[in-house]
Every structure is written in structure tokens, then in C-alpha cells.
């Protein structure tokens, strides 16, 4: 078990080119700085200067790892092996991102922190049976590693100890490649390696359908400006893409490529998850962040690779149930460059 006296602190990974700050409160990336075309570093993630605002609940999931199950579970209910489970309905009428006190609001144990060019930090957390309504004890670890001068890898693992349980973790950083304080991301261009999307109902829960993106405003199979068709999808993108056509590298599929024209910064994301929630910060409204920057609607974009939302209630979606003795593994590779 984690030491109950653990404090929330911020830790640094720095290889001379890339600088990342991460807190053990929710395994949250509070700052990530990479060079742009001028060679100057800019912090490209939305967040706060200290851990206090995160702990006060002021962040709309900025930078954290969410779970036990990311995204929405319809009506906060599911049945597993004949047992009915009820979860907190923290985003009515659904349960979102693990409930009232999900993994983003827990202090994780710092198991290891290595400095240097390939610096890394490993966090661990023990989730108990019944926590936020979920079945079974679960041992979790998350390791952030600087894998090259401008790339970072995240490896998340979870092992159920005594009961089958749904597990679907997601990393919820809000990216703005022009700099966290530079306005909205509508001029960023994105390519998503997904030929299909899972349409949603009026409460943003997938209907169970899997629909082609071709000929719709959801089509990012070729690079497209985010703002180009955003007015056609309500308040913005908040949809799960089926990662079904990316090339593979080191067991990870190419999920997305984002480019900011002003700085020429590019982020390539690779993951082994089946889906990715593409979210354009539609609900961000006047959050005062780092250095007094005010984050408004569309101030950042999220690329949350994940199991499909509400998969536990949708038999035709890939299963997110993990059995005791099995290991859940979810890896993401963030590669930054200038193009």
C-alpha cells in the first residue's frame, strides 16, 4: 500500500532539449517544453504552476491519468458475470473518468525517479475493491520515460488481484503546440489514423454503431485544419476514433499527427489502444492557468488513447475486462519535431 503520508509534489524529467514536469497527484503532466522552429522552448500543455489548483479540483482533467475506466459509462451502471455494479454519476446522467475520486485525484507512490538523458519516473497505486464502485483490488503502475531528445513514452500497467474488472486508463493532457498561453487550437492541423468513429447520443455516450468517417466532418484520414468543419459537430469534437489504419512501430500504432503552423511544432502519437478520444476542449471556460494565462474554449486538444467508451455495456466493442492473473498494458509514445 502507498504511504498515507505521501505529499503531492512535482518532479522533473530533463534531457537538455525537452523538459517535463509531472506530479504524483494523478500522474499529471503539469508542463512539457519542447523547441519550436526558432529553437526556443515553449510549454505546450495546459495546466497550473503548483499542485494546489489540481488538488482543489480546478482542472478539467488537465494532464492526468484517468481511471479505473476512462470516458463515460452509461447511467453509471454495468453488469459483469451476473453481478450488477453502480458507479458514481459524476457527469449526469453518466459516470465519467472513474467517478468522483478517480485515479486523477489520488496521490500515487513514487516508486522510482531516474535523472539524465533517458530520465524516467514510475508511479504506483493500489486501487481497492469497491473503490468508486468498481470490483476487485487492482495494482497499477505508470512510467514516463524520455526515450530521445524530443520524445516521451508512457507505459501504464494494471493487474487485477482477485476479481475480473473493467480497466481502461487514459492520459488526458490538453495540448497546444503553439504554447499553452497562445489562444485556441483551431489552426492546428491534425491527421488521425482512423477510418471509423463511434457515433454518440445526446449525452455523449456511443450508440454502439461503428461508422465510416469518409464524407463526414469527422474525417481526418488526411491532414486537416481542426477549425475547418468543427462548426458541423455541435460544440466541438469529443468523439472516439477507431484506430484501424495506422502503421506499426515497436508494437504501437500510429494514432495521430498534430502540427501547429505558427511554431512548426509537430506531435506524432503512437499507441497500442484500440480507440482515441479526440477532444477539442469544448467545456474549458475561463480557467486561470500557468503564469496567469486564461484558458478558454478550444484552448487545447486531447488525444486520449483508450478502450472504447461504455465498452463494458456494448458487446460489439472490444472488451475492457481484465481477469485476475492477466495484465492490462497501455503504452503511448509522444514524438515531437519541427516541420
Q: Is 285 annotated as a binding residue?
A: no
Q: 105: left (phi > 0), else alpha (psi -120 to 50), else beta?
A: alpha
| Catalytic-labelled residue, pool 131, 132, 172, 330 | 172
Q: Is 238 annotated as a binding residue?
A: yes
- Measured between alpha carbons, how far is 136 from 159 in angstroms, rounded to an integer? 10
| Catalytic-labelled residue, pool 97, 188, 239, 304 | 304
Three-state DSSP string of the chain: CCCCCCCCCEEEEECCCCEEEEECECCEEEEEEEECCCCCEEECECCCCCCHHHHCCCCCCCCCEECCECCEEHHHEEEECCEEEECCCCECCEEECCCCCCHHHCECEEEEEECCCCCEEEEEEEECCCHHHCCCCEEEEEEEEEEECCEEEEEEEEEECCCCEECECEECCEECCCCCCCCCCCCCEEEECCCEEECECCCCCECCCCEECCCCCCCCCCCEEHHHCHHHCCCCCEEEEECCCCCEECCEEEEEEEECCCCCEEEEEEECCCEEEEECCCCCCCEECHHHCEECCCCCEEEEEECCCCHHHCCCCCCCEECCCCCEEEEEEEEEEEC
- Measured between alpha carbons, how far is 135 from 184 in angstroms, rounded to an integer? 40
Judge whether 304 counts as a catalytic residue: yes
Q: Is 174 annotated as a binding residue?
A: yes
Q: Is 52 annotated as a binding residue?
A: no
Judge whether 298 counts as a catalytic residue: no
- Measured between alpha carbons, how far is 221 from 328 in angstroms, rounded to an integer? 29
Q: Is 72 annotated as a binding residue?
A: yes
Residues annotated in a binding site: 71-72, 172-174, 238
Q: Which residue numbers are catalytic?
A: 172, 304
Residues annotated in a binding site for beta-D-galactose: 71-72, 172-174, 238
Amino acid at each position: 500500500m502507498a504511504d498515507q503520508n505521501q505529499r503531492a509534489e512535482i518532479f522533473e524529467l530533463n534531457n537538455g532539449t525537452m523538459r517535463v514536469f509531472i506530479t504524483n497527484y494523478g500522474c499529471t503532466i503539469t508542463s512539457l517544453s519542447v523547441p519550436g522552429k526558432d529553437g526556443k522552448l515553449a510549454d505546450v500543455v495546459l495546466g497550473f504552476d503548483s499542485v494546489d489548483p489540481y488538488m482543489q479540483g480546478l482542472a478539467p482533467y488537465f494532464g492526468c491519468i484517468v481511471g479505473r475506466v476512462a470516458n463515460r459509462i452509461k447511467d453509471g451502471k454495468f453488469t459483469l458475470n451476473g453481478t450488477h455494479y453502480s458507479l458514481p454519476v459524476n457527469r449526469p446522467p453518466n459516470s465519467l473518468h472513474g467517478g468522483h475520486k478517480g485515479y486523477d485525484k489520488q496521490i500515487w507512490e513514487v516508486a522510482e525517479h531516474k535523472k539524465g538523458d533517458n530520465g524516467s519516473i514510475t508511479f504506483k497505486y493500489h486501487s481497492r475493491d469497491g473503490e468508486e464502485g468498481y470490483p476487485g483490488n487492482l495494482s497499477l503502475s505508470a512510467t514516463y520515460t524520455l526515450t530521445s531528445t524530443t520524445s516521451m513514452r508512457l507505459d501504464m500497467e494494471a493487474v487485477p488481484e482477485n476479481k475480473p474488472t473493467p480497466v481502461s486508463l487514459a492520459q488526458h493532457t490538453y495540448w497546444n503546440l503553439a504554447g499553452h498561453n497562445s489562444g485556441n487550437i483551431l489552426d492546428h492541423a491534425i491527421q488521425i489514423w482512423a477510418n471509423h468513429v463511434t457515433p454518440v447520443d445526446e449525452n455523449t455516450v456511443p450508440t454502439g454503431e461503428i461508422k465510416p468517417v469518409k464524407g463526414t466532418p469527422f474525417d481526418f484520414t488526411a491532414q486537416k485544419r481542426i477549425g475547418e468543419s468543427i462548426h458541423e459537430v455541435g460544440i466541438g469534437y469529443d468523439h472516439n476514433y477507431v484506430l484501424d489504419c495506422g502503421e506499426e512501430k515497436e508494437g504501437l500504432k500510429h494514432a495521430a499527427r498534430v502540427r501547429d503552423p505558427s511554431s512548426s511544432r509537430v506531435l506524432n502519437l503512437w499507441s497500442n489502444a484500440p480507440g482515441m478520444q479526440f477532444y477539442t476542449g469544448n467545456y474549458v471556460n475561463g480557467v486561470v492557468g500557468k503564469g496567469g494565462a486564461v484558458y478558454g474554449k478550444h484552448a487545447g486538444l486531447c488525444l486520449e488513447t483508450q478502450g472504447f467508451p461504455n465498452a463494458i455495456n456494448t458487446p460489439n466493442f472490444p472488451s475492457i475486462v481484465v481477469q485476475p492473473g492477466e495484465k492490462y498494458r497501455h503504452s503511448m509514445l509522444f514524438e515531437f519535431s519541427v516541420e
